[in-house]
Amino acid sequence: MPIEVKVPAVGESITSGILGVWNKPDGAYVKSGEPIFEIETDKVTAEVVAESAGQLKHLAKAGDTVQIGQVVASIDEKAKAPAEGSKDKKEASNGSKEKSSRMEASTPVAAAVGRGKNADDLSPAVRYQTEEKGINPASIQGTGKDGRILKGDVLAASVSPARKPTGERTLRKKMTPLRQKIAARLLSAQQDTAHLTTFNEVDLSNIMALRTKFQDRFVKKHEIKLGFMSFFVKAVVHALQTVPAINARLDGEEIVQNNFYDIGVAISTEKGLLVPVLRDADQLSLAGIEKAIATYAKKARDGKITLPDLEGGVFTITNGGVFGSLLSTPILNPPQCGILGMHTIQERPVAISGRVEIRPMMYLALTYDHRLVDGREAVTFLATIKEVAENPAAVLLEV
């Protein structure tokens, strides 16, 4: 009897999701542990692998809303594996017939195969993005090893050319579960908190000088670049220790004071904004912070972020400056009562000891829940961030 493939539980509060993409077409022979489909929920995208080898049969279509525990496929363990190097004709024919499948013959991926690009060389994430954005992989110049197409290549290709006229003035498509969840949380944060934003600016001359002086040695020792975010994570930890009122949350009529420093760092993905959490950031070195952020960024790009990665943060940092934002008011990430917004670095004239000098300046924005945090505390917190960022050596030396 064929093995049933069910939608796995991906979190206590998640009851359904969308079958995002089939990594293997109907009728294909799959190996044990091989990814067969992705399930998109309102929090994460999870990859489901085959528990056993055999012939795959689809029982649901890509784009269907499915329930946790629902049977979406079966695997016939008695099916013979295709000979090594031979092409599974049934897989090819079934893949071309199923119009709802991501492997439809008229799709860009299949067209790329006809032009000499092997669809098997595309990762599931890249295949999904090319289908989602309607881009022919054959037209993309890959920047990965041996010309392999990366997700960043697809994103770059999607924003550079103008969309061809289709005769339709509008395009309607369903929001993904993740986008629905983001929308609901943002609206809830605006309605359920007394949010207020205060601003300051920081001179990054000293941080930039440190990075310039020690970058090569840092990379050689830690095999990762020294960025700006690690300094600001350290600054936030120091500020939370200085102003503990911001390291708290409301639970009904009670104030819950946090005595740990799990800092969320917002990461932008093609599917939406995710906020993985750096655990015990107060105990991490600059290198440890940079490596943790890089690991999370890769997991986010590859759709490998899990719920434990996103839960339990006490404070969030978001950096709109990477997209060129000069100034903005970030929205709280409940139940946290504070979020720091970083922005683009811009050379501006500033007064230094009675002289006008050109310095690399960044605007900072702190949004906080005024129910818990008073203005004095918020201003002190942001001033502490500024002090640490402008004098990083003092904090690193603990003087």
Q: What are the catalytic residues? A: 370, 374
- What phi-psi label fits residue 213: left (phi over 0), alpha (psi between -120 and 50 degrees) or beta? alpha
Phi/psi at 274 (nearest 5 deg)? -115, 150
| Phi, psi values for residue 293, rounded to 5° | -65, -40
Closest CA to 350 of 168, 203, 142, 140: 203
